[in-house]
Amino acid sequence: MTLADSSRFLFTPDLTICRLLNGMWQVSGAHGYIDPARAIAEMFAYHDAGLTTWDLADHYGPAEDFIGSFRRQFTARHGVERLSEIQAFTKWVPAPGRVTRRVVDEAIGISLSRMGVECLDLLQFHWWDYQDASYLDALKHLADLQHEGKIRHLALTNFDTERLDVITGHVRVVSNQVQYSLIDRRAEVRMAPFCRDHAITLLAYGTLRGGLLSEKYLGRPEPRRPELSTASLQKYKNMIDAWGGWTLFEELLGVLKQTADKHRVSIANVGVRYILDRPAVAGVIVGARLGVAQHIAENIRVFGFALDPGDLAMIEAVLAKSRDLTQVIGDCGDEYRH
């Protein structure tokens, strides 16, 4: 299957990605059991559909191992020369504290081994405590590994604009992964303008609110906590509460449904398309429950339509009724540091 040219993005001069990234947080264990054999088989289905870019992390359960297994089976099936078709973006999320070169070497060495690569396409770095400026030491060690050929590009995840400004004075990062959706538009206040000015792009996650932004919840009463069966649903329901509550969310779903029907797509497609069209956004990460639920055919419809001014006006009219999450939570990533 060949996707539209608009599905590809020149992420860096030497790396082109699919703008719809397959998110692997959902294999981490917080979303139920994933069968490894079925998961790897389904990774081929994603790749064959043109969804060639994977987002994962060192702490997402077996995610890095899945990439390693997928690459080995892909090589056996298609030959080593086609491995460059796969892009796998991992993260390093160290525990707070002093970071030595040895600590960095060991962590990156484990990711390289698990993923079966000699060089990581993209290493996205997360840091829990801004009061501890050791994150700059860690990034300098990572930059050394980049110069040694073990990391292709450096990036960040859930950093705020203030720290991103500090970091850009020390090392070159190409992207920052942040929560970004119709509900959570904090990135538009400071982050996106800064990134645009510094040739940095954004990778958006949480765009579908763990599945809440879908027909499944249209016209539904507010779900009780026991009904929110995954970590994603619980996390993003909390964000909806902070944003404006369930009644306003239902109003938004209703408008999105009108828009979706007009374009013969889904509510999720509209939500993703909206974020893909925002300044500085390189791609949107959509969770893949490998071997459990698959939405490949639906997801790729996002590349087959465009939102017009009338669509946007209807959507913005509802969003204008919500709370400003920058005032409620702060800048991007601040929800992890309160």
> Would you give the DSSP letter of residue 266?
-
- 171: exposed, middle or buried (Cβ count in 10 Å: 0-12, 13-18, 19+): middle
CA proximity to 237, closest of 249, 255, 219, 253: 249
- Is 229 within the bounds of a domain? no
- Is 240 within the bounds of a domain? no
- Is 253 within the bounds of a domain? no
| pLDDT category of residue 15 using cuts at 50, 70 and 90 | very high
Q: What angle do CA 105, 109, 111 make, to 5 degrees?
A: 125
- Is 177 within the bounds of a domain? yes
- Is 99 within the bounds of a domain? yes
pLDDT tens digits, 53-107 = 999 999 999 999 999 999 999 999 999 999 999 999 999 999 888 899 999 999 9
Domains in the chain: how many in total? Answer: 1
- Is 187 within the bounds of a domain? yes
Question: Residue 18 belongs to what domain range?
Answer: 5-210+268-304
Residue type for position 176: N
Expressed in angstroms, the distance from the first to the final Cα of the chain is 45
pLDDT tens digits, 210-238 = 899 999 999 999 999 888 987 788 899 99
**Average pLDDT of the chain to the nearest whole number:** 94
pTM, entire model = 0.95
pLDDT tens digits, 105-161 = 999 999 999 999 999 999 999 999 999 989 999 999 999 999 999 999 999 999 999
How many other C-beta atoms can be found within 10 angstroms of the C-beta atom of residue 13?
6
How many other C-beta atoms can be found within 10 angstroms of the C-beta atom of residue 57?
22
- Is 81 within the bounds of a domain? yes
CATH of the domain at 10: 3.20.20.100
CA proximity to 214, closest of 274, 277, 262, 272: 272
pLDDT tens digits, 237-285 = 999 999 999 999 999 999 999 999 999 999 999 999 999 999 999 999 9
- Is 155 within the bounds of a domain? yes
